C-alpha cells in the first residue's frame, strides 16, 4: 500500500508538473504590457483544466485501489508467493500500459506537428507564388499600382454616377412633390422636365444654324428694307402697347421670318442661310419624332418588367418600402409621406376592383356625358372661327379706333376656352364614375379634342387671312414693277448723254408687302404669351388667393372653409398636361415662321417648373382619391406624337403649296420654298445626284415604298402580338410549375411527419 500510495502521489505530482510547466512557459512568453482581462481569462481556463485533470487522476486512483483490494483477496485465497508474483506482473503490465499511453500521446503530438509543417509548407508556397501581391519580390510596385488604380477607378465610377444623379435638374423637387401628392402629379413635372430638355435642344439647332449666322454674317439693321421699320411706323415703334403686340422693332428683328436675307451665301464662310433655314425648320420635326418614339420604346420596356405586381401588393409595400440608407431627416419625412401615399393608391385600386355597379344606369349616364361634351366642343370651335373672322375685319381698320379687347380678341377667347372647358368636362365626367386613372385618360382625350379643334379652326381662319394677304401682295408687287418701269422710261434713253446718279431711296421709304409669314409668326407668339399669362394668373388667383382666404379666414367664417366651399385647390393634372402638349404643338408650327419662338418657350418652361412646384407645395392639397400613374408615360407621349404629326401638316402645306413673300424672308424670289433645295442640287452637286433625287421623288416609286412600309408595320405588329402571347403562356406555365413544386413539398412534409 505505501508503495502504491507513493506511486499515486508521484503520478499526481507529475500531472501537476505537466500542468504547471506549460503554464510557466506561457507566463514567460507573455509580455508585461498585456491586458489584465486576458490574464484572468487564461488563468480561469488553466485552473479549470487543472481541476479536471485532478478529478481524472482521483478516479484512476480509486479504480486502482479497488483492483488492489480484489487482488489481495485473491492472494489470500491462493497463497503468498504466487499472489505476490501475480501482483508484480500486473503492476508491470500497468506500467507498460501507462508507457504505451504516453507513447500514443507523443505520436499524436507528432501528427499535430506534421500537420503544422504541411500548413507551413503550403503557406510558404503561397508566399513564393504571390510574393508580388504580398509586397515582396519583383512585381510589388506593379501590383500595388494596379490595385491602387482599380480602387480609384471604382471610386471614380461611383462618384460619376452620383454626379450624373446630381446633374438631373429638379430631381429633388419632383421627389418632394411625389412624396406628398403621389406619382400621378409627379408624372406631370417629369413630363415638363422632359419637354424642357427637348426644347433646349431645338433652340440650340435654331439659334446655332439660323439666328446666329444671320446676326454675325448677315447685313446689319437698317441696311435693307426688310430690316428697317417703315417711316410711317417709326414714331410709335417703341411704345409699350406696340411692343406688347410684337409690332414695331420686334416685328423687324431676328425673332421673325421676315428679317432674314435671301442671299444664297452669307459671310466669309459662304454659309447657305436659305437652305439651312429650310432644313432646320423641317429637321426639328424629324428630331422631335425620333426622340418621342425612342422615349415611348424605353418607357414600354421599363413598364413591362413588373407585369405581375398586383399580387401581394400590401405585403410588398409593408416589408420592402423603407430605404434603410436614409440619413437625412427631411428625406426620411419625404419617404414616409411617399409610403403613405402609395398605400392610399393601392387601397383605391383595390376598392375599384371590388366595386359593384348598375351597368345599365352607368351606360346611360356615360352616353349622356359624351353627348354634352360633344356639344361643348362644337360650340367652342364655332366661337373661335367667328372671332377669327371678326379679327380679319378689325385688321382693315385703324388701330387707334380699336379697343384692347378687340385687338386681342382671338387670343383672349382661346385662352378663356382652355381655362373654362377642362373644369366643365371634369364636372360632366362625374356622371361616368370611372376609376381615377381611366377618368384621367378620358379627360385628357376630351381636352385634346377641344384644343385640337380650336387649333385647327384657328389655322383655317388664319390661312384665309394669308390668302387675302397674298392677293394684296400681288397688287403691291405690280405697283412696284410699274413704278420701276416709269423710272426707267423717264430717266433713261437709248444714248447716254449725262451721268445722273440713281435716286437714293432710304430703306424706310421703300414700298413693301404685308409679309404674311411674319404675320403668322406674330399670331403664334401672341398665342404663346397670352396662354402663359392666363396660366400664371390662374395659379395666382385660383390657387394662391384661394389658399390664403381658406387659411386665414377659416377661424372667423360661418362654416368650415377647408372642408366646404371653397376649400384648398387640387392640382389639375389633365388641364396642365394638355396645356403643355398643345403649347408644344404651337411651338412646332410657329417655329418655322418665328425662329425666336423656341427660345421664348424655353424661358416659359423654366419659369413654369419653379412657379408650379411652389404653387403645388404651398397652395394645393392631394386629391381625395389618390391614384397611381402608369409606370410608363406613354399615354402622354402618344398625345404628343399625334400633336407632332398634326403640327407638321400646316408647315408642309406652306412649304409645298404657298408662294413666299417677294420682299421678305430667306425664300423671297422663289416660286416655292422647296425650290431652294432644287437650286442647291443643280448648282452645287454633281448631275447624277440630281437624277437620283428626281427619280426618288417620282410618285411611281413613292407609292410602292409607302405600301412596303405599311406591310412591314403590319408584320412587326403581328409578330409583337405573338411574342406577347408567348410571354403570357410562359408566365402561366411558370405559375403552374411553382404551384406543383409547392404542393409536392407539402406532401413530402406530411409524409415525413407521419413517419
Confidence bin at 587 (pLDDT 50/70/90): very high
Q: How confident is the model at residue 46 (pLDDT cuts 50, 70, 90)?
A: very low
Q: Do 178 and 185 form a contact (C-beta atoms < 8 A)?
A: yes
The per-residue pLDDT for 697 is 74
Note the pLDDT of residue 593. 93
Grid coordinates given for 571: 392640382
Percent of the chain with pLDDT over 70: 72
- Among the listed ranges 208-217, 459-468, 533-542, which one has the minimum average pLDDT value? 459-468
109 and 218, same domain (yes or no): no
474-508 pLDDT tens trace = 777 666 655 555 555 555 554 455 555 556 777 77
| Cβ count within 10 A of residue 478 | 10
Flag the least confident range among 90-99, 154-163, 421-430, 612-621. 90-99
Q: Are both 293 and 175 inside the same structural domain?
A: yes
CA–CA separation, 203 and 591 (whole Å): 10
Residue 279's pLDDT band (boundaries 50, 70, 90)?
A: very high
Please, what sign has the CA dihedral across residues 621, 624, 628, 629? negative
Name the one residue in this structure whose C-alpha cell is 454626379: 163
The top-scoring range by mean pLDDT among 138-142, 525-529, 591-595 is: 591-595
Q: What is the spatial distance between Cα 283 and Cα 306, in angstroms, rounded to a whole number?
A: 37
Tell me the backbone φ, ψ of residue 570, rounded to 5 degrees.
Answer: -105, 150
| DSSP string over 600-633 | HHHHHHHHHHHHHHHHHHHHEE--SS--PPPSS-
Burial environment of residue 95 by CB neighbours within 10 A (0 to 12, 13 to 18, 19 or more): exposed
Domain that holds residue 92: 2-26+39-128
d(CA 295, CA 289) in angstroms, rounded, equals 10
pLDDT at position 325, please? 60
**Residue matched to cell numbers 379697343:** 403
On the question of pLDDT at 43 being above 80, the answer is: no
Residue 17: pLDDT band with limits 50, 70, 90:
very low
The answer as to whether 337 is a domain residue is no
- 708 in the same domain as 692: no
In a domain, 320, yes or no: no
Judgement on whether residues 516 and 589 belong to the same structural domain of the protein: yes
Alpha-carbon distances of 283 from 215, 279, 518, 676, 735, rounded to whole Å: 21, 6, 20, 15, 49
**pLDDT more than 90, % of the chain:** 12
Do residues 113 and 195 both lie within one domain? no
Residue 1 pLDDT: 37
pLDDT of residue 349: 67
**Cα distances (angstroms) measured from residue 568 to each of 80, 560, 565, 584, 623:** 119, 12, 9, 30, 10
**Which tens digits make up the pLDDT trace of 282-332?**
999 999 999 998 888 887 766 544 444 455 667 777 777 776 666 667 667
- Write down the pLDDT at residue 452: 79
pLDDT value at position 264? 86
Residues in CB range of 251: below 8 A, 6 or more apart: 229, 258, 518, 522
- 619 and 564 assigned to the same domain: yes
**Could you tell me if residue 313 is inside a domain?**
no
Q: Is residue 750 pLDDT above 90, yes or no?
A: no
Q: Does a structural domain hold residue 329?
A: no
Reply yes or no on whether the pLDDT at 4 is more than 70.
no
Q: Cα–Cα distance between 375 and 388 in angstroms, integer?
A: 20
Please state the domain count of the chain: 4
Q: Do 433 and 536 share a domain, yes or no?
A: yes
Q: What is the pLDDT of residue 102?
A: 47
Helix-strand-coil percent breakdown of the chain, rounded to 5?
Answer: 75, 0, 25
Task: State the pLDDT at residue 175.
Answer: 84
- Does a structural domain hold residue 485? yes
- Residue 2 CA: distances (Å) to CA of 65, 67, 184, 457: 12, 15, 100, 130
- Is the domain of 111 the same as that of 181? no
Mean pLDDT of 173-189: 82
Is 141 part of any domain?
no
User: Which residues neighbour 381 within 8 Å (Cβ) at sequence distance 6 or greater?
Assistant: 453, 454, 457
Residues 587 and 687 in one domain: no
- Point out the domain boundary residue: 697, 715, 747: 697
pLDDT at 620 over 60: yes
pLDDT score recorded for residue 592: 92
Look at residue 65 and tell me if it is in a domain: yes
- Rounded Cα distance, 660 and 671, in Å: 7
pLDDT recorded at residue 689: 78
Lowest mean pLDDT among 121-130, 556-565, 692-701: 121-130
> Mean pLDDT across the stretch 243-271?
88
pTM: 0.68
Q: Is residue 623 part of a domain?
A: yes
Give whole-number Cα distances, 640 to 107, 377, 572, 578, 634, in Å. Answer: 87, 20, 18, 9, 9
What mean pLDDT comes out for the span 336-363?
71
pLDDT digits 0-9 by tens, 202-221: 999 999 999 999 999 888 88
748 pLDDT more than 50? yes
Residue-wise pLDDT for 97-142, tens only, equals 445 554 545 455 555 566 777 878 887 777 666 655 555 455 667 7
Q: Are residues 602 and 549 in the same domain?
A: yes
Closest C-alpha among 268, 270, 254 to residue 211: 254
- Give the span between the Cα atoms of 393 and 747, in whole angstroms: 88
Same domain flag for 637 and 747: no
Is the pLDDT assigned to residue 95 strictly greater than 60?
Answer: no
Per-residue model confidence (pLDDT) at position 327 = 62
What three-state secondary structure class fits 193?
Answer: helix
568 and 661: one domain? yes
Amino acid at each position: 500500500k505505501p508503495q502504491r500510495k507513493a506511486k499515486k502521489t508521484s503520478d499526481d505530482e507529475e500531472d501537476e508538473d505537466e500542468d504547471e510547466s506549460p503554464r510557466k512557459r506561457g507566463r514567460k512568453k507573455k509580455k508585461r504590457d498585456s491586458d489584465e482581462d486576458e490574464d484572468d481569462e487564461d488563468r480561469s481556463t488553466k485552473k479549470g483544466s487543472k481541476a479536471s485533470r485532478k478529478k481524472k487522476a482521483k478516479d484512476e486512483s480509486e479504480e486502482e485501489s479497488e483492483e488492489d483490494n480484489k487482488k489481495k483477496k485473491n492472494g489470500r485465497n491462493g497463497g503468498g508467493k504466487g499472489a505476490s508474483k501475480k501482483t508484480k506482473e500486473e503492476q508491470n503490465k500497468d506500467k507498460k500500459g501507462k508507457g504505451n499511453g504516453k507513447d500514443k500521446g507523443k505520436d499524436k503530438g507528432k501528427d499535430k506537428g506534421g500537420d503544422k509543417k504541411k500548413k507551413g509548407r503550403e503557406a510558404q508556397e503561397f508566399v513564393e507564388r504571390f510574393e508580388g501581391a504580398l509586397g515582396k519580390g519583383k512585381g510589388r510596385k506593379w501590383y500595388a499600382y494596379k490595385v491602387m488604380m482599380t480602387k480609384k477607378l471604382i471610386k471614380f465610377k461611383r462618384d460619376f454616377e452620383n454626379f450624373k444623379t446630381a446633374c438631373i435638374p429638379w430631381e429633388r423637387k419632383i421627389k418632394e412633390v411625389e412624396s406628398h401628392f403621389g406619382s400621378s402629379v409627379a408624372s406631370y413635372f417629369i413630363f415638363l422636365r422632359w419637354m424642357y430638355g427637348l426644347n433646349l435642344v431645338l433652340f440650340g439647332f435654331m439659334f446655332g444654324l439660323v439666328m446666329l449666322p444671320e446676326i454675325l454674317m448677315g447685313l446689319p439693321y437698317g441696311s435693307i428694307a426688310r430690316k428697317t421699320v417703315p417711316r410711317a411706323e417709326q414714331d410709335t415703334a417703341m411704345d409699350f402697347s406696340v411692343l406688347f403686340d410684337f409690332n414695331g422693332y420686334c416685328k423687324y428683328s431676328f425673332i421673325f421670318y421676315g428679317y432674314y436675307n435671301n442671299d444664297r451665301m452669307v459671310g466669309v464662310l459662304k454659309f447657305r442661310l436659305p437652305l439651312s433655314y429650310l432644313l432646320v425648320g423641317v429637321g426639328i420635326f424629324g428630331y422631335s419624332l425620333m426622340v418621342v418614339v425612342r422615349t415611348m420604346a424605353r418607357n414600354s420596356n421599363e413598364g413591362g418588367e413588373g407585369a405581375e405586381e398586383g399580387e401581394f401588393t400590401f405585403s410588398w409595400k409593408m416589408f420592402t418600402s423603407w430605404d434603410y440608407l436614409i440619413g437625412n431627416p427631411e428625406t426620411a419625412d419625404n419617404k414616409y409621406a411617399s409610403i403613405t401615399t402609395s398605400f392610399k393608391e393601392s387601397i383605391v385600386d383595390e376598392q375599384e376592383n371590388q366595386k359593384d355597379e348598375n351597368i345599365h344606369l352607368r351606360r346611360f349616364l356615360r352616353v349622356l356625358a359624351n353627348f354634352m361634351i360633344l356639344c361643348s366642343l362644337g360650340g367652342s370651335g364655332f366661337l373661335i372661327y367667328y372671332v377669327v373672322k371678326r379679327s380679319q375685319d378689325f385688321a382693315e381698320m385703324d388701330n387707334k379706333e380699336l379697343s384692347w379687347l378687340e385687338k386681342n380678341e382671338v387670343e383672349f377667347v382661346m385662352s378663356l376656352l382652355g381655362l373654362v372647358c377642362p373644369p366643365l368636362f371634369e364636372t360632366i365626367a362625374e356622371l361616368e364614375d370611372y376609376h381615377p386613372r381611366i377618368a384621367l385618360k378620358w379627360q385628357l382625350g376630351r381636352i385634346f379634342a377641344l384644343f385640337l379643334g380650336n387649333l385647327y379652326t384657328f389655322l383655317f381662319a388664319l390661312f384665309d387671312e394669308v390668302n387675302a394677304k397674298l392677293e394684296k401682295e400681288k397688287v403691291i408687287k405690280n405697283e412696284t414693277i410699274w413704278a420701276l418701269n416709269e423710272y426707267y422710261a423717264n430717266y433713261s434713253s437709248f444714248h447716254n448723254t449725262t451721268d445722273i446718279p440713281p435716286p437714293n431711296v432710304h430703306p424706310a421709304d421703300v414700298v413693301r408687302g404685308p409679309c404674311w409669314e411674319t404675320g403668322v409668326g406674330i399670331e403664334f407668339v401672341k398665342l404663346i404669351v397670352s396662354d402663359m399669362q392666363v396660366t400664371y394668373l390662374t395659379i395666382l388667383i385660383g390657387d394662391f388667393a384661394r389658399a390664403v382666404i381658406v387659411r386665414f379666414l377659416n377661424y372667423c367664417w360661418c362654416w368650415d372653409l377647408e372642408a366646404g366651399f371653397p376649400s384648398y385647390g387640387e392640382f389639375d393634372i389633365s388641364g396642365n398636361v394638355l396645356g403643355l402638349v398643345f403649347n408644344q404643338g404651337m411651338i412646332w408650327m410657329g417655329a418655322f415662321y418665328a425662329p425666336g419662338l423656341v427660345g421664348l418657350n424655353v424661358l416659359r418652361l423654366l419659369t413654369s417648373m419653379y412657379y408650379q412646384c411652389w404653387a403645388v407645395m404651398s397652395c394645393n392639397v392631394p386629391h381625395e382619391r389618390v391614384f397611381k400613374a402608369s409606370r410608363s408615360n406613354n399615354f402622354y407621349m402618344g398625345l404628343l406624337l399625334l400633336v407632332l404629326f398634326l403640327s407638321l401638316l400646316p408647315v408642309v402645306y406652306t412649304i409645298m403649296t404657298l408662294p413666299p413673300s417677294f420682299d421678305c424672308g430667306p425664300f423671297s424670289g422663289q416660286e416655292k420654298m422647296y425650290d431652294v433645295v432644287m437650286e442647291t442640287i443643280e448648282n452645287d452637286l454633281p448631275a447624277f445626284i440630281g437624277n437620283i433625287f428626281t427619280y426618288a421623288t417620282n410618285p411611281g416609286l413613292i407609292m410602292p415604298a409607302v405600301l412596303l412600309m405599311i406591310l412591314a408595320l403590319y408584320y412587326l405588329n403581328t409578330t409583337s402580338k405573338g411574342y406577347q402571347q408567348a410571354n403570357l403562356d410562359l408566365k402561366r406555365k411558370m405559375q403552374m410549375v411553382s404551384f406543383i413544386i409547392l404542393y409536392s413539398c407539402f406532401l413530402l412534409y406530411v409524409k415525413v411527419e407521419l413517419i
